[in-house]
A and B are shown apart, each in its own frame.
Chain A
Amino acid sequence: MIPLTWYLILSAAVFCVGLFGVLARRNAVAILMGIELMLNAVNINLVAFWRYLSSEVISGQVFVIIVFAVAAAEAAVGLALIISIYRRKRTISADDINLMKW
C-alpha cells in the first residue's frame, strides 16, 4: 500500500513547480498554466486525504468537484482577459501589462 506521505510529497513538489511558473514566467498564458498545475496539486491532496483519512464521508470528493468548476471558470475568464489584452496592446508579456501599476 502506498503511504499517504508519498502523495503529499508529490503534490507539494507539483505545487512548488506551479508556484515557480506563476512567479517567474513572463508570458501570461504560461502563468495560467502554472495556476492549473497548482490547482491539480491541491486536488491530489484532497483526494488522497479523502481516501486515507475520511473515506466514509463523501465531502472530500465534493471539494474536488467544486475545485473543478472554479478552475474551469478561472481558465475561461483568464484566457478571455489575455485575448482582450492582446487585441488592445499587442502583448501578452506580464512585464508589459503595467497599466494599473502604481
Chain B
Amino acid sequence: MTGLQIVFIAVGVITFAAAVMVVVSRNLVHAALWLILALAGVAVLFVILEAGFLAIVQVAVYIDAIAILIIVTVMLTRHAMRDDEPQLNKTWIWSALAAILLFGGLLFLFNQVPDLVAQAAPLVETDDTYLEILGKSLVDVDRFVIPFEVASVLLLAAMIGAIVVARPPSSSSQEGGQE
C-alpha cells in the first residue's frame, strides 16, 4: 500500500464520516460545519487527482460562498424548528432503504464493468498547461463558449431571482410588486 493510498483512505473516511454527520446532526449549525469538512475533503481529493485549479475553485465557491450562505440562512431561520423535535420525517426508514439499495446497486454495477481497473496514465502536460487549456477552451467558439455563457446568464438570473424572492414582503407590496 503506497503513501498516496493511505492518504486517500484517510481523506475518504473523513469525508464520508462528515457527510454522515451532516445528515444525522440535530443542530443545523453543526451540520453546516460538518458540511464544510466534507467539502474540504472533496477539495483534497481533487488535489490527489491532480486537478489543482478545481480544488481552488471548490474552496472558493463551496467552502467560501455556499457554506457561508447556508450558515447565514440557518441563523436567520434559527427559531423555526427546535433541535429537540424529530429531525427526520415519518418515512425515513424507506429513505434509508432506498439509499442503501442504490448503494448496493451501484457496487454491483462497478463489479460488472471490467474497465474500471484501468490505471491512470501520467499526465502529459504540466499543471499550468492544463489550466491554460481549460481557460482557452471555455472561451473558444468551437468548444465550450456556449455552455460557459449559458452558465453565466443562469448565475446572473439566479442571483437577481434570489434577491427578488428574498426581499421582505412589506417593501415589495409598497412598490406594487406584490406577487
Chain A positions near chain B (C-beta within 8 angstroms): 1-10, 12-21, 23-27, 29-30, 32-34, 36-37, 40, 43-44, 47-48, 50-53, 55-56, 58-59, 61-62, 64-66, 68-77, 79-84, 86-88, 90-95
Contact = CB atoms under 8 A, between A and B. Distances in A.
Interface of B: 2, 4-5, 8, 12, 15-16, 19-20, 22-23, 28, 31-32, 35, 38-39, 42, 45-46, 48-51, 53-54, 57-58, 61-62, 65-66, 69-70, 73-74, 76-77, 80-81, 86-89, 91-92, 94-96, 98-100, 102-103, 106-107, 110, 115-121, 123-124, 130, 133-134, 137-138, 144, 147-148, 151-152, 154-155, 157-159, 161-163, 165-166, 168-169
Contacts of A53: 115, 118
Q: Is the interface of A mostly helix, strand, loop or mixed?
A: helix
A62 B116 contact: no
A51 B50 contact: yes
A58 to B, nearest CB: 5
Nearest to A94: B89
A72 B85 CA distance: 30
Nearest to A12: B106
5 contacts: A1-B2, A36-B70, A50-B51, A76-B158, A79-B166
